[in-house]
């Protein structure tokens, strides 16, 4: 329905990817039935509602938001976003449509896609020669040689503010509550005024493609509102009202991008009147507003324009407006929960009846109880999953630096795509937290970079094969460079993004995805690097030159991150080539890999070197820790197989400290988890919550930048489960603060879904649900003692003997394998097994079921 057609879409086979559908729709009648009607349930009393305390999956506040960045509550359906202020007399929803961008072709500034407007013969060689001769080159000098000012880069745009004025403004407001239930993905505002309880609900439905607002009261005829749209002045727009439909249509001054939004105002009772750019309703029992929007952006090189959005927006708005509110809400909740409910996390938390901003403040001040602290941490984990679902659904652009939420026409960094950490971090939680579908826009985006990125290869490198992007990208195929000396050159970025394709395959083992989509991308990127690696005169190894450790230091040859990324690409490509049967290229990738400097060196103070020369300063606390790429998100360092490198990584990480910006702390959670240090990982999570999290729980770089939310969710997952080394590592980095708990629905590489319980810091049981036939390798302390493994599907027990802490067994697709300790912690299962059953399992008697975890698949 949206004018987003990627090359990949057109080329795709009818069913390119077997999306895993592990979640069981939680459309239990009670989940969706209770709050639907126009008459809401009672507002929360002083003891708190069920949502405040019970589920622990609600952010709530006792005041309206006054600051967009730190206080508004975000809803989104991947295409449309809205931030809810919750004002009483005047409610404001800041609206976003993900493709509304200035810049690109047709921009008033001109447009150069980052490629050179005049050829620069010899410039790249001159930089390489100076680096070879002098060992390093100053970034300013390199930028003068290889950079140039960006033209028409643009910025992500706010669509506008939807304002809803209640007339007369409510007086004597009591019992005010503003909340966001992230399990239902519904925001809610309630208050009492003059004895009338008002309730407003807000959600962004992927099922129907619209944002929905519902205003109601517990007495008839009490909803009187007028609504209008406030638009920025960097566009031409007409706002008209006709038959209850508020339409804004126009184009951006900068690039002529056309946009349209429609707000359909549907009143139950009362009178509706069209004004000049407003729709008013008086004396209604309830009012539903349905918002649809679109632009004429299309992910099609080189023009990036498709159809005028009018027809699609009208069709979407009409279809949604024809449905009863209860149906819209039910469809939305079911759609969201099908994704969200796949993972549950129980840290034995106890959510206090306390507004979320007060809970965050108490956590920061060390005043929150341990159980309340765990409640905030578990909520923060799930919030990252919520935000990913809300900001990244198939058919639009990927989640940008602010996800989908933006209130300005000149967003920080344009709210663009920064692939030197930020864009990748956005997608770390996708596979591991069972939200594989959310990565689809990333793959569409990267697929769409092939043509513009190949033009950049030809312009910047003078070679022909493959494609690149550099430090920043926008939706219009900006794949070249700017001139910001410390952040303009990073052609390794696309190779890093290729890791997401291969990792997606490692999780799903979907051969069609690998053959049709991932491998062609990986091969092209490998070809680019095979064409552009250079011989290092120091040791004859193949290196990247010029090479720049993101935003840090001088240009050199063979900085660690550059080498580690290219090594990761070549290794993955060689493995993938073996699967798809491309033996010739496999041999070429392996040969290049053998000659490549791997970028893994231990330096003079036992640190992992950031550069090929030992230049690291132990007092340097730079936020980027790029040279640990091989530890995370790569797989070149492991405490088990390369302990000396892991130790060096720990020394480097320790020196960098526990500070940093939001995303930097989030990355450090992942690093410490990969180093199997749960307490340190937890400390970083605490640091992020205390110092880099806004009261609406958005990550604060500063400014608000959503990568840290996603990075933290990934970090928590890495603490609980890892599988990057082809073994499923159960509870690899459990902190002392999370001594007892349970998690369900996490994903491990190999197409496995994992549930776990633990007690006293030790695994007490876990279940591996295998999606494929084949060998699985498992590492768990539970296997150190006597344990029993039961195929839950057949009831049979398996002989599993760990070697060096790793058990290997052959799994069958569709079977679940239950690992249970026979010596300890059985009472911790406690979910459905009788004492007799538990004793029977403990005694290793076959034929009796192991205690079950609560599972939702």
Residues that bind ligand FUC (CB under 6 A): 401, 413, 418, 420-422, 487, 551, 661, 701, 705
115 vs 661, which CB is nearer to ligand FUC? Answer: 661
Nearer to ligand FUC, 705 or 722 (CB): 705
Based on CB atoms, which residue is closest to ligand FUC, 471 or 508?
Answer: 471
Helices (H) then strands (E): counts for the chain: 24, 29
Hey, what are 564's tokens? 């580690």
Q: Nearer Cβ to ligand FUC, position 184 or 472?
A: 472
Contacts for 641 with CB less than 8 Å, ≥ 6 apart: 725
Nearer to ligand FUC, 551 or 687 (CB): 551
For the bound state, the minimum distance from the C-beta of residue 430 to ligand FUC, rounded and expressed in Å, comes to: 20
51 SS3 class? helix
Beta carbon nearer to ligand FUC, 418 or 674: 418
Residue 778 C-beta: closest distance to ligand FUC, Å: 37
Return the SS3 of 238: strand
* Beta carbon nearer to ligand FUC, 422 or 426: 422
List beta partners, residue 282: 271
Nearer to ligand FUC among residue 517 and residue 701 (C-beta): 701
Comparison of 203 and 417: residue with beta carbon closer to ligand FUC: 417
Which of residues 601 and 701 has its CB atom nearest to ligand FUC in the complex? 701
Q: How far is the CB of 475 from ligand FUC (least distance, A)?
A: 16
Strand, helix or coil at 365? coil
Q: Are 758 and 730 in contact (CB under 8 A)?
A: no
Q: Write down the least CB distance from residue 487 to ligand FUC, Å.
A: 6
CB of 560 to ligand FUC, least distance (A): 17
Query: Least distance in Å: CB of 414 to ligand FUC?
Result: 9
Lookup: tokens for 690: 């205390």
524 and 450 Cβ atoms separated by less than 8 Å: yes
Q: Which is nearer to ligand FUC, 396 or 402 (CB)?
A: 402
Distance CA 193, CA 172 (A): 6
Beta carbon of residue 17, minimum distance to ligand FUC (angstroms, whole number)? 30
- In the complex, least distance from residue 266 CB atom to ligand FUC, rounded to whole angstroms: 41
Q: Are 117 and 172 in contact (CB under 8 A)?
A: no
Give the number of C-alpha atoms closer than 13 A to the C-alpha of residue 234, restricted to the C-beta side: 20
Q: How far is the CB of 558 from ligand FUC (least distance, A)?
A: 21
Residue whose tokens read 């992942």: 670
Q: 678: helix, coil or strand?
A: helix
Closest Cα partner for 421 from 787, 665, 758? 665
351 close to 375: Cβ distance less than 8 angstroms: yes
| 3 state SS of 741 | strand
* Identity of the residue, 573 or 705, whose beta carbon is nearer to ligand FUC in the bound complex: 705
* Pairwise CA distance, residues 313 & 100, whole Å: 14
Q: How far is the CB of 665 from ligand FUC (least distance, A)?
A: 12
Check: CB of residue 182 under 8 Å from CB of residue 57.
Answer: yes
Q: How far apart are CA 162 and CA 290, in angstroms?
A: 11
Could you give the 3-state DSSP secondary structure of residue 477? coil
CB of 662 to ligand FUC, least distance (A): 8
When the beta carbons of 421 and 650 are compared against ligand FUC, the nearer one is 421
Residue with the two structure tokens 């205390």: 690
CA dihedral 13, 206, 250, 311 (to 10 degrees): 60
Which CB sits closer to ligand FUC, 275 or 702?
A: 702
Structure tokens at 183: 């399990």
Give the containing element (helix H, strand E) for 755. strand 752-759
Nearer to ligand FUC, 8 or 684 (CB): 684
Pairing, β 741-748 against β 73-76: unpaired
**Least CB distance to ligand FUC at residue 756 (A):** 33
User: Whose Cβ is closer to ligand FUC: residue 231's or residue 487's?
Assistant: 487
CA 702 to chain centre: 18
Q: Which of 429, 406, 418, 522 is nearest to 469 (CA)?
A: 418
Strands (E), 531-659: 534-535, 542-543
We find the least distance from the C-beta atom of residue 166 to ligand FUC, in angstroms, to be 39
Q: Considering the complex, what minimum distance in angstroms separates the CB of residue 493 from ligand FUC?
A: 11
Task: Give the dihedral sign, CA 519/388/668/557.
Answer: positive
d(CA 59, CA 375): 11
Cβ at position 56, least distance to ligand FUC in Å: 30
Query: What's the distance, CA 174 to chain centroid?
Result: 37
Closest CB 701 distance from ligand FUC, rounded Å: 5
- Beta-carbon contacts of 467 under 8 Å, excluding residues fewer than 6 positions away, are 449, 450, 451, 452, 453, 454, 456, 457, 479, 494, 524, 525, 528
Instruction: Let me know: does 649 contact 675? Beta carbons within 8 Å.
Output: yes
In the complex, residue closest to ligand FUC by CB: 418
Q: How far apart are CA 318 and CA 337, in angstroms?
A: 25
- Joined together, the tokens standing for residue 613 give 């020369």
């Amino acid at each position: 329905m949206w004018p987003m057609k990627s090359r990949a879409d057109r080329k795709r086979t009818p069913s390119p990817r077997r999306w895993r559908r592990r979640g069981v729709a939680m459309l239990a009648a009670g989940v969706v039935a209770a709050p639907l009607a126009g008459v809401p349930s009672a507002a929360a009393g002083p003891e708190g509602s069920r949502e405040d305390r019970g589920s622990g999956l609600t952010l709530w506040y006792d005041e309206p938001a006054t600051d967009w960045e730190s206080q508004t509550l975000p809803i989104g359906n991947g295409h449309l976003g809205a931030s809810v202020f919750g004002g009483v007399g005047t409610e404001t929803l800041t609206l976003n449509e993900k493709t509304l961008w200035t810049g690109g072709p047709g921009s008033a500034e001109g447009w150069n896609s980052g490629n050179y407007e005049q050829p620069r013969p010899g410039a790249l060689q001159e930089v390489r020669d100076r680096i070879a001769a002098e060992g390093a080159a100053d970034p300013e000098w390199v930028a003068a040689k290889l950079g140039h000012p960006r033209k028409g880069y643009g910025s992500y745009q706010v669509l506008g503010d939807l304002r809803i004025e209640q007339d007369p403004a409510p007086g004597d407001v009591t019992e005010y509550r503003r909340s966001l239930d992230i399990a239902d993905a519904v925001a809610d505002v309630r208050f009492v005024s003059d004895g009338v309880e008002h309730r407003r609900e807000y959600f962004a439905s992927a099922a129907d493609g619209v944002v929905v607002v519902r205003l109601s009261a517990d007495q008839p005829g009490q909803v009187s509102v007028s609504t209008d749209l406030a638009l920025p002045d960097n566009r031409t727009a007409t706002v008209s009202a006709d038959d209850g439909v508020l339409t804004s249509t126009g184009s951006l001054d900068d690039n002529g991008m056309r946009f349209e939004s429609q707000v359909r105002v549907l009143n139950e009772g009362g009178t509706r009147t069209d004004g000049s750019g407003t729709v008013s309703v008086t004396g209604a029992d309830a009012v539903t507003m349905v918002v649809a929007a679109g632009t004429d952006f299309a992910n099609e090189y080189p023009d990036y324009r498709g159809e005028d959005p009018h027809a699609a927006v009208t069709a979407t708005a009409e279809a949604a407006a024809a449905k009863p509110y209860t149906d819209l809400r039910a469809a939305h909740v079911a759609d969201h929960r099908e994704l969200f409910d796949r993972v549950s996390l129980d840290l034995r938390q106890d959510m206090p009846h306390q507004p979320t901003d007060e809970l965050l403040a108490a956590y920061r001040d060390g005043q929150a109880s341990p159980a309340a602290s765990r409640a905030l941490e578990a909520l923060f984990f799930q919030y990252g999953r919520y935000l990913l679902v809300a900001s990244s659904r198939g058919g639009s652009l990927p989640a940008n630096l602010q996800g989908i939420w933006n209130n300005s026409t000149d967003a920080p960094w344009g709210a663009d795509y920064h692939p030197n950490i930020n864009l990748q971090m956005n997608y770390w939680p996708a596979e591991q937290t069972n939200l594989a579908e959310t990565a689809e826009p990333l793959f569409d985006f990267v697929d769409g970079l092939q043509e513009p990125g190949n033009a950049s290869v030809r312009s910047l490198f003078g070679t022909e094969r493959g494609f690149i992007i550099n430090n920043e990208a926008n939706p219009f195929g900006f794949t070249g460079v700017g001139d910001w000396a410390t952040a303009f050159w990073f052609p390794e970025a696309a190779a890093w993004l290729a890791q997401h394709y291969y990792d997606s395959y490692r999780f799903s083992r979907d051969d069609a995805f690998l053959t049709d989509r991932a491998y062609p991308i990986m091969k092209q990127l490998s070809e680019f690097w095979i064409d552009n690696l250079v011989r290092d005169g120091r040791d004859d190894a193949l290196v990247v030159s010029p090479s720049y450790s993101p935003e840090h230091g001088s240009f050199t040859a063979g900085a660690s991150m550059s080498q580690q990324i290219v090594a990761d690409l070549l290794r993955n490509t060689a493995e993938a080539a073996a699967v798809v049967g491309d033996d010739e290229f496999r041999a070429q990738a392996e040969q290049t890999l053998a000659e490549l400097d791997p970028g893994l060196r231990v330096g003079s103070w036992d640190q992992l070197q950031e550069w090929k020369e030992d230049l690291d300063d132990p007092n340097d606390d730079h936020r980027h820790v790029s040279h640990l790429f091989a530890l995370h998100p790569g797989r070149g360092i492991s405490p088990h197989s390369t302990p000396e490198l892991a130790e060096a990584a720990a020394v480097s990480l320790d020196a960098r400290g526990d500070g940093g910006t939001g995303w930097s702390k989030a990355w450090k959670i992942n690093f410490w988890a990969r180093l199997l240090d749960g307490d340190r990982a937890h400390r970083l999570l605490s640091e992020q919550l205390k110092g880099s999290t806004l009261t609406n729980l958005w990550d604060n770089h500063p400014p608000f930048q959503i990568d840290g939310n996603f990075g933290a969710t990934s970090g928590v997952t890495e603490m609980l489960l890892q599988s990057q080394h082809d073994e499923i590592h159960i509870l690899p980095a459990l902190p002392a603060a999370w001594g007892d708990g349970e998690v369900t629905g996490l994903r491990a590489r190999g197409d496995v879904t994992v549930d776990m319980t633990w007690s006293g810091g030790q695994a007490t049981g876990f279940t591996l649900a295998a999606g494929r036939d084949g060998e699985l390798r498992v590492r768990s302390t539970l296997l150190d003692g006597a344990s029993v493994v039961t195929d839950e599907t057949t009831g049979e027990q398996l002989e599993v003997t760990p070697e060096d802490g790793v058990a290997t067994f052959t799994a069958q697709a569709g079977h679940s394998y239950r690992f249970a300790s026979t010596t300890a912690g059985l009472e911790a299962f406690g979910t459905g097994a009788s004492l007799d059953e538990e004793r029977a399992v403990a005694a290793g008697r076959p034929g009796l079921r192991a205690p079950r975890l609560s599972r939702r698949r």
